[in-house]
Amino acid sequence: MPKKIISYGMFMAAVAVLAMTVITQVGCTTPSQSAQAEGAQGDSALASGKGGAQLWAENCMRCHNIRDPKSFSDAQWQVAVHHMRVRAGLTAEEHEKIVVFLQSAN
Amino acid sequence: MACLHRMLLAVLVVVVTASPPVFAADAAGDGDFVPRKEYDQLKSDFEAFKKEVRNSPAGPNTANAGQEQFEYLEAELQAIRHMAEMAQAGSTKFLITGYGFATYSDMEGSNSTFGAGFNPIFLWELTDRLLFEAELELELDAMSTALALEFAHASYLVNDYVTVGAGKFLTPFGVFGERLHPAWINKLPDKPLFYRSLVPHTSVGAYVRGGFPVASKMNYVVFVSNGPQVQTTTAANSGLLNFHNFSDSNNNKAVGGRVGYLPIPELEVGGSFLVAEVSPEGFAGDVTAVLFGFDISYAKEIDQIGGTVDVRTEWVWSDVEDATYDPTGAMGFGPITYDNERNGGYIQVAYRPSKNSNKVIKNLEGVFRYDFLGLPSGAPASADQQMYTCGLNYWVTPSTVLKAAFQVTDTDGADTLHAFLFQSAVGF
């Protein structure tokens, strides 16, 4: 029982930390703050201010090697990136920018 | 004019037959189809040419023969337009992807053996929002070929942050199952120890998932499924969770999910959970299982070390409510009751000198993985295991890899076993 309490406690603590992060951060970024912060986007996982090439490199290499954009046609990339959005939890903006980049680079 | 007529026809024939088709699943490329873009360009050129000729002093208005030839060309163009429209790809897009692999393993105490597998993945994008995906798994058993449905589910993009889906899907618990298990992505020839027995690989149910920008970035998934079932029939398996039952055994569904947080692009931290009632119908008492897990992934190309470093760890704790197995002894091994808590995980580090100028060295990758599996001391025939695996990979292409690994397995109360593992994997 003590092990269960410790395990549950650790998990709830982690959830609480995560929740506090979300609560304190959601709504704090205004459009003007986003525009000012665009210059510092290199260290952030946010898609705003980043091009498709950068988002493609950052998101894809988290799990696997990056394939040559020429390996698929425009229509094939559309399907592949849609599949990756579902599987890897890409945001809508990342999805759109990565598709546009790959279709222009193949 | 006759010469002009023949020249025009020749141009039309050459342009139409030399234009390759554009399809989502283009494999033949036999030149029988006219792409829309080229057809439009052809039509535009022809209209411009017609206008130029009509306005010239020797245009068709001055001769019936010229008018007839232009009408003939007009009819030919209409026929070509019809052919092009018939050959146009529809709004549905289709892609076959997947991977194949071949293995050789030489484990102490077992026969060395070759193996192979083929996993085609079918992706249909029926609309911009609707996707159906399915994977088949064909692997060799001792005497036959095993065919399995790895996953088959449809998903719908409700909005920028919410995707819903249902079917059979890779269980979103941790990251190895959903993202890293394909042979061309997994950096070692085998799967981590904990993944073979502590967590479900697939689930049948429905999910809600998505990604959204929150200060940095987060992704989430929540799912409901038929859920696992605790095994009760033999001494060796009593208390183990069976994740391969695809129907609901007790009219209670499992609920699970994962939240991932990316403070910086190269780092993701995640927490997972799964809760389910796992006692089969007819079992004395309800037994609930609770699984918690966390995962950390870091992958970055760093100039200072001349290459790419990839560090990952996942850990899971499994707590199955205490129960008495074979309470009357009728099955020959009971009654058995024990504190049914298990845990396990892995830590993996990989380095690839991707910045090296040598074409061979830049494609080499060294990998090390430590595995741990902790089993309940009161369970029959259970012993903690630790595994150390060192591997060297060579990436022929970004999705084709040759792997070689040496593995040492320590099992409490048993001899240490050594193994050589080799694998070639192709992602397509």
Over the stretch B225-254, which tens digit does the pLDDT of each residue have? 999 999 888 888 888 898 987 788 777 889
CB-CB contact of B176 with B193 (8 Å): no
What's the pLDDT score for residue B380?
A: 78
What's the pLDDT score for residue A9?
A: 54
Question: Sign of torsion, CA B302 B305 B308 B313?
Answer: negative
Between CA A28 and CA A38 the distance in angstroms is 15
**Partner residue facing A86 (CB), from B155, B271, B294:** B155
- Considering only residues B36 and B273, tell me which one the structure prediction assigns the higher pLDDT: B273
SS3 B247: coil
Q: Has residue B264 got a pLDDT over 80?
A: yes
Residues of chain B contacting residue A46, judged by C-beta atoms under 8 Å apart: 213, 215-217
Are the Cβ atoms of A91 and B398 closer than 8 angstroms? no
Average pLDDT of the segment spanning B41-60:
79
Task: State the nearest Cα–Cα gap between A50 and chain B, in angstroms.
Answer: 12
Between CA B80 and CA B209 the distance in angstroms is 46
Q: For chain B, how many residues are written?
A: 428
What's the pLDDT score for residue B83?
A: 79
Task: State the nearest Cα–Cα gap between A2 and chain B, in angstroms.
Answer: 12
Between CA B133 and CA B150 the distance in angstroms is 10
For chain B, what percent of residues have pLDDT higher than 70? 89
Q: How does residue B288 score in pLDDT terms, banded at 50, 70 and 90? A: very high
Tokens of B145: 């070929």
Q: How does residue B95 score in pLDDT terms, banded at 50, 70 and 90? A: very high
Tokens of B143: 């005497």
Least-confidence region, from A48-62, B78-92, B340-354: B78-92
DSSP B394: E
- Considering only residues B50 and B363, tell me which one the structure prediction assigns the higher pLDDT: B363
Are the Cβ atoms of A18 and B265 closer than 8 angstroms? no
Going from the C-alpha of A17 to that of each of A27, B216, B312, B366, the distances in angstroms are 18, 15, 21, 35
Residues of chain A contacting residue B131, judged by C-beta atoms under 8 Å apart: 79, 82-83, 86
Between CA A84 and CA A89 the distance in angstroms is 8
Extract long-range pairs of A23-26: CB within 8 Å, 24+ residues apart: A25/B214, A25/B215, A26/B214, A26/B215
Question: Sign of torsion, CA B47 B50 B51 B52?
Answer: positive
Q: Which pLDDT tens digit goes with each residue over B122-144?
A: 999 999 999 999 999 999 987 88
**Partner residue facing B97 (CB), from A45, A80, A89:** A80
Q: For chain A, how many residues are written?
A: 106
What's the pLDDT score for residue B82?
A: 82
Torsion angle, alpha carbons of B279, B282, B284, B285, to 10: 50
- Considering only residues B419 and A4, tell me which one the structure prediction assigns the higher pLDDT: B419
SS3 B344: strand
What's the pLDDT score for residue B237?
A: 86
Between CA B213 and CA A47 the distance in angstroms is 8
Tokens of A16: 């609480």
- Considering only residues A86 and B89, tell me which one the structure prediction assigns the higher pLDDT: A86
- Considering only residues B147 and A24, tell me which one the structure prediction assigns the higher pLDDT: B147
SS3 of B347-383: the string is EEEEEECCCCCCCCHHHEEEEEEEEEEECCCCCCCCC
**Partner residue facing B22 (CB), from A22, A68, A73:** A73
What's the pLDDT score for residue A5?
A: 54
Q: How does residue B23 score in pLDDT terms, banded at 50, 70 and 90? A: very low
Between CA B317 and CA B198 the distance in angstroms is 8
* Alpha helices in B19-95, H assignment, sequence order: 36-54, 64-87
Q: Has residue B7 got a pLDDT over 80?
A: no
Q: Has residue B14 got a pLDDT over 70?
A: no
Between CA A62 and CA B272 the distance in angstroms is 19
Average pLDDT of the segment spanning B336-355:
95
Between CA B399 and CA B72 the distance in angstroms is 53
**Partner residue facing B292 (CB), from A7, A61, A89:** A7
Average pLDDT of the segment spanning B333-354:
93
- Considering only residues B380 and B337, tell me which one the structure prediction assigns the higher pLDDT: B337
Nearest chain A Cα to B320, which residue?
Answer: A4
For chain B, what percent of residues have pLDDT higher than 90? 64
Nearest chain A Cα to B170, which residue?
Answer: A87
What's the pLDDT score for residue B280?
A: 86
What's the pLDDT score for residue B4?
A: 52
SS3 A4: helix
What's the pLDDT score for residue B81?
A: 84
Are the Cβ atoms of A48 and B213 closer than 8 angstroms? yes
What's the pLDDT score for residue B89?
A: 62
Q: Which pLDDT tens digit goes with each residue over B302-343?
A: 999 999 999 999 999 999 999 888 888 888 888 888 889 999
Residues of chain B contacting residue A25, judged by C-beta atoms under 8 Å apart: 214-215
Are the Cβ atoms of A62 and B216 closer than 8 angstroms? no
Ranges under pLDDT 50 in chain A:
1-4, 19-41
